[in-house]
Every structure is written in structure tokens, then in C-alpha cells.
Amino acid sequence: MLPQQKPSLTPPRGFPPQEFEQRLMAAQIQMHAQQLDALLLTTEPEVRYFSGFHSQFWESPTRPWFLVVPLKGKPVAVIPEIGRSGMMATWLDDIRTWPAPRPEDDGISLLAETITALSRRYGRLGVPMGHETFLRLPLQDFQKLSTRLAAIEIIDCAPLIRQLRFIKSPAEIAKIHHICDLASAAFENLPQRMHSGQSEREICQDFRMDLLRRGADNSPYLISGSGPDGYDNIIMGPSDRIIEQGDVLIIDTGTTFDGYFCDFDRNFAFGKVSDPTRRAYDTVYRATEAGFAAARPGAVLRDIWAAMWAVLEAGGALSNDVGRMGHGLGMQLTEGPSVSERDDTLLHPGAVLTLEPGMTYAPGKQMVHEENIVITEEGARLLSRRAAAELPIIS
């Protein structure tokens, strides 16, 4: 059994300027290596990663926001005027604004002027364009920008950003560990708070309130699935289905503290459970142990996948339909890379990821287990508190 972690102390909110200076330095080293004059970032996690700008206003899709990371010097914010005071509270100095929303020219001219005025050494601009990325601006505006920057080659910088964010600082890890602690405590308290006769929705609403009372900021991802002696999906719910004796329930949560996520699940049985379902729980539990043992510096993610799949296959898995068995974790519920059969991302100390072995063990019945870990010099360390070794039975 994996060792349980000591509860974390509540970390301070935000980061000191030195944290952002280190992130910027690491980015600029890679930009030199890849011959990039600047990065153009448009999504909330990337803007927050380099600036510290943390606002719920991103829920509004009306206005685009831009951050330019130059090869030399601090990032430049090109943002709607409404965000000026908030951005001024960050470590950034150069904040350029326009009166958004202005659909006819929503910051594109100002952004183009900012980029073309930069010192140009390589004539190349990095924009995240690869897997698990998107541009948070209208396509026609990006086309206008590309025309304005015709003399500059625009290339994909998604791998650069993904590697930077995959390796977390001690301060980032402390925030993830803390929210994992809060969610672990709420999960451990859940058997005393739920019973058959409740709906999935009622149980999850109570669970969410418990998370908030314990100090979580938000629980934007909280799903559940249930059914007689098993469940058949892990991405829907909670529904109004009433839990009955003989049911198995899974709850999976992505809950946040200061903008950082945990992401793990727990399984519960009500009254009784069949031997095949017990064996499936034992199998995914042991698969997690195997993944934990394989997660060490110098390994690649497909090594973890292979270690877990070997246990699942030996335990009678009919398939794994999820497509991966874990992923990066941090400012987003799921970050790249993926723990998959084909991913050769090398593990380094500071990498934070989930271990998520899952199996279809009978037609229409799945069993999935998930824990959160960080890679250290000595190997993997749990961030979530380990699930029960045997499937919990709710009387």
C-alpha cells in the first residue's frame, strides 16, 4: 500500500514576483533554443501562468485578451480597458488597452503594433496551435493579425508551453497538495453523510458544500455515475437517479484552491457487491500501485501506462475505452501530456500528474480509480490521500 501523506498547510495565495521571473527565464531559454522572437498567448491559463492575472471575468467570451512574451524583457499585456486595474496589480509593467468590445478592431491593430515593434532576431512568433490548445479570439481576427504580421513566421509553440507547465514549482505543488488534502478529507467523510434512497444529485450537492466549507474555492467538475453492481460511464451526471441497495457509485471531482486543481475519484458500494465487482476494484487498486512504482525520473509516460495495463489485463480487463490512464494536472483539470500507450514524454522532478487506471470488466460495467502524484528525485509521491484498499460498503 502506498504511504499516506501528511496533511498540507494552507499555502499563501498568489505568488511572489520571483516565481514569475523564473517562469519567464525558463521560457526565454527555450525560445532561444527554438529561435522564437516572442510568444503570443490568448487563453486564461497561459496568461495567468506568466502574469498572475487571476479573474473570474474569463467566463465572459465577449472580449479577447492577449499576452506577448518577448525573447528579452517582461511580458506585455494587450487587454481590454476593463482589465487594466486588475492587471496593474500583477508584476507586469507594460499594459496596453483598448475600449473593448469593439468588433471592428478588437485589439488586433494594437496587438500587431506591439508585436512588430519588438526586437526581431529570428523573425518567428510562437502561437499555441497543437493538441489541447485553442485560440481565444475570432478566427477572422486571427486571420487579420496574420495578414498584419505577414513578414513574421508563425509557428506552433504548444510543446514548449506544455513542457513548462508540466513541471511545477514547489509553490505550485503546495497548492495542488492542499486542494488534494481538502478533497481527500471530504471523500473520507462522505460515507457518514450518504445513504441509499438519496439521488446522485443530492449526494454530490452535499459533497460540494462540504468541500467549500473545508476551504475549497470552487468545484467546477463534480460528476457521478451509478448502477446495479456497477456503472457504465464516468463523464456524465450527477443525475436524479436514486441510489438503491446493491448499487455502485463513483464520484470524481476537479476542485480548486487559488486556481489549481485536484482531480481524483472514489468508489462506493451500497449494501452488497458481487465478487466480480470486488475483484475489479482490487485490480484497479493494484494497477495504481504499479503505476506509482513506474513513475520515476527518467521514465516515460508510456512506461506507466504499460505497468498499469499489465495489471488490468491480468485482472480480466475486457478493454480500456478512455484512451489514456492519466494526464498532467495543475491550472487546468486536465493538462498535457497523457499517460497513454504512445506518449514518450520524459518524467522529471516536479511533474504533476494523475494515475487513472480503468477497465471494462463486464459488458456495461466499468471500474476506474484515480490518484494525484508528483515526481520527486526519489520517485513518485502521493498528493491525494490513498483510497481504501477494499471497496467501501455503505450499510
- Average pLDDT of span 179-185: 98
Query: What's the order of all strands across the beta sheet hosting 124-127?
Result: 94-98, 76-80, 66-70, 38-41, 124-127, 153-156
100 — pLDDT class (breaks 50, 70, 90)? very high
Q: Using one digit for the tens of pLDDT, what is the confidence trace for 197-231?
A: 999 999 999 999 999 999 999 999 999 999 999 99
Query: Please, which contacts does 298-301 make with residues 24 or more away whose CB atoms are closer than 8 Å?
Result: 298/346, 298/347, 299/346, 299/347, 300/343, 300/344, 300/345, 300/346, 300/347, 301/326, 301/337, 301/338, 301/339, 301/340, 301/343, 301/344, 301/345, 301/347, 301/353
* Percent of the chain residues past pLDDT 70, beyond the cut: 98
pLDDT at 95 over 90: yes
pLDDT at 274 over 80: yes
pLDDT at 3 over 60: no
pLDDT at 290 over 90: yes
The residue among 322 and 87 whose pLDDT is bigger is 87
Mean pLDDT of the chain: 96
pLDDT at site 349: 98
- Average pLDDT of span 177-181: 98
pLDDT at site 178: 98
- Average pLDDT of span 291-303: 98
pLDDT at 236 over 90: yes
What is the rounded distance in angstroms from the CA atom of residue 236 to the CA atom of residue 31? 40
38 — pLDDT class (breaks 50, 70, 90)? very high
pLDDT at 1 over 60: no
Question: For the chain, how many helices (H) and strands (E)?
Answer: 10, 18
367 — pLDDT class (breaks 50, 70, 90)? very high
9 — pLDDT class (breaks 50, 70, 90)? confident
322 — pLDDT class (breaks 50, 70, 90)? confident
Q: Using one digit for the tens of pLDDT, what is the confidence trace for 127-162?
A: 999 999 999 999 999 999 999 999 999 999 999 999
372 — pLDDT class (breaks 50, 70, 90)? very high
7 — pLDDT class (breaks 50, 70, 90)? low
- Average pLDDT of span 74-86: 98
Q: Is the peptide bond before 101 cis (omega within 30 degrees of 0)?
A: yes
Evaluated on CA atoms 209, 213, 215, 217, the torsion sign reads positive
* Percent of the chain residues past pLDDT 90, beyond the cut: 95
pLDDT at 4 over 60: no
pLDDT at 41 over 90: yes
